[in-house]
Amino acid sequence: MNKPMRITTPGGEKLVILSEKEYRRLTEAAGELADIAAFDEASRELDEGAGLVSFEEMEKRIARRLKDAS
Domain boundaries, the chain: 20-69
Res 52: pLDDT: 74
Task: Give, for all 70 residues of the chain, the pLDDT tens digit.
Answer: 578 999 999 999 999 999 999 999 999 999 999 899 988 988 888 777 766 778 898 899 899 988 887 7
For residue 1, what pLDDT is reported? 59
Asked whether 28 and 34 are in contact (CB, 8 A), the reply is no
Q: What is the pLDDT of residue 15?
A: 97
Give residue 47's pLDDT.
Answer: 79
Helix-, strand-, coil-residue percentages of the chain, each rounded to 5: 60, 10, 25
